């Protein structure tokens, strides 16, 4: 399949057309951003690490019956994906209190959330990705109610799969975001799953092993990403 012109570039990924209108090439760059793109830096190896990390997770989710846009790896920093009509909302699951939940509600970081919470955020950097609800999503036509409900079901199913995966590797999946789109009438998981879009802590020490290391100036960002991958069994040199 032939890679063609760039469709658009996000904060850390670029998307390219192919000679097949149903498929695109997703390129993971070394760019790292925080605070809705207000801070951007280059981190060596990040594109490769996130590309291979995402491929591993997407395969685990597909094996569990969750439809994803991922098709195959093309290179160290590129993969082939289905071209989805994306819903402009992020589905967020929180298993442990952290981040904006603590700031909004004044709760202490690190509380186990049982049952896990489900939240929706509008994808809009200029507005700071505001929190929305299912009623707003329906009223403004961001997604059909049945498609949003299916996205919610798949987000919870992913939580069962991934929480166990990380737990078995000595880590806590604190929270994460998923994005969905439509492909030939079916709700399909899109975008990526990497330490850029979730929080991961060591189960014993609660050391942060995700992009909070970048946001909070803790250092060792890619080293932490690679440690997470190694614990899960990802071979970044393959």
Q: Given this model, what pLDDT does residue 203 score?
A: 97
Specify the pLDDT at position 40.
79
Amino acid 187: pLDDT: 98
Q: Between the CA atoms of 115, 58, 165 and 46, what dihedral angle is there, to the nearest 10 degrees?
A: -110
pLDDT recorded at residue 41:
86
**From CA 100, how far away is CA 32, in angstroms rounded?**
19
Spatial distance between the Cα atoms of 155 and 174, rounded to a whole number of angstroms:
14
Given strand 85-86, what is the order of strands in its sheet?
85-86, 180-183, 186-189
37: left (phi over 0), alpha (psi -120 to 50) or beta: left
Mean pLDDT of the chain: 96
Structure confidence by residue, pLDDT tens digits, 210-229: 999 999 999 999 999 999 99
Predicted confidence (pLDDT) per residue in 11-61, tens digit: 899 999 999 999 999 999 999 877 766 667 889 999 999 999 999 999 999
Class of the CATH domain delimited by 86-220: alpha beta
126 DSSP assignment = G
pLDDT tens, 191-205?
Answer: 999 999 999 999 999
Give CA–CA dist 126/122, Å, rounded. 11
**Could you give the CA distance from residue 224 to residue 145 in angstroms, rounded to a whole number?**
38
By the 8 A CB rule, do 158 and 150 touch? no
Residue 92 has pLDDT above 70, yes or no: yes
Residue 165 CB-half CA count within 13 A: 22
Instruction: Tell me the per-residue pLDDT of 136-190, one tens digit each, with 9 for 90 and over.
Output: 999 999 999 999 999 999 999 999 999 999 999 999 999 999 999 999 999 999 9
CA distance 119 to 177: 9
Q: How far is the C-alpha of 8 from the C-alpha of 168, rounded, in Å?
A: 37
**DSSP string covering 99-113:** THHHHHH-PPTT-EE
Both tokens of 160, joined, read 């069962």
Q: 3-82: which CATH architecture?
A: 2-Layer Sandwich (3.30)
Tokens 């589905």, residue?
Answer: 91
Domain boundaries defined on the chain = 3-82, 86-220
Contact indicator for 158, 178 with CB cutoff of 8 Å: yes
What number of other Cβ atoms are within 10 A of residue 147's Cβ? 18
Q: What whole-number distance in Å separates Cα of residue 186 and Cα of residue 84? A: 10
| Residue 36: predicted pLDDT | 63
Q: What is the pTM of this model?
A: 0.95
**Residue 221 pLDDT:** 94
């Amino acid at each position: 399949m032939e890679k063609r012109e760039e469709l658009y570039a996000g904060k850390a990924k670029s998307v390219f057309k192919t000679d097949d209108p149903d498929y695109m090439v997703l390129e993971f760059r070394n760019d790292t951003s925080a605070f809705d793109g207000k801070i951007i830096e280059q981190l060596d190896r990040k594109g490769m690490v996130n590309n291979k990390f995402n491929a591993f997770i997407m395969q685990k989710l597909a094996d569990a019956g969750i439809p994803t846009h991922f098709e195959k790896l093309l290179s160290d920093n590129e993969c082939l994906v289905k071209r989805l009509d994306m819903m402009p909302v992020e589905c967020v699951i929180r298993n442990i209190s952290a981040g904006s939940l603590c700031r909004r509600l004044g709760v202490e970081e690190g509380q186990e959330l049982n049952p896990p919470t489900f939240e929706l955020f509008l994808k809009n950097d200029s507005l700071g990705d505001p929190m929305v609800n299912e009623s707003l999503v329906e009223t403004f036509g961001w997604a059909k109610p049945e498609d949003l409900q299916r996205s919610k079901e798949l987000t919870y199913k992913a939580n069962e799969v991934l929480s166990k995966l990380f737990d078995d590797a000595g880590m806590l999946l604190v929270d994460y975001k998923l994005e969905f789109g439509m492909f030939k009438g079916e709700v399909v998981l899109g975008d990526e799953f990497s330490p850029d879009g979730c929080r991961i802590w060591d189960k014993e020490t609660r050391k942060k092993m995700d992009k909070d290391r970048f946001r909070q100036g803790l250092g060792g960002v890619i080293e932490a990403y690679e440690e997470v991958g190694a614990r899960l069994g990802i071979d970044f040199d393959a």
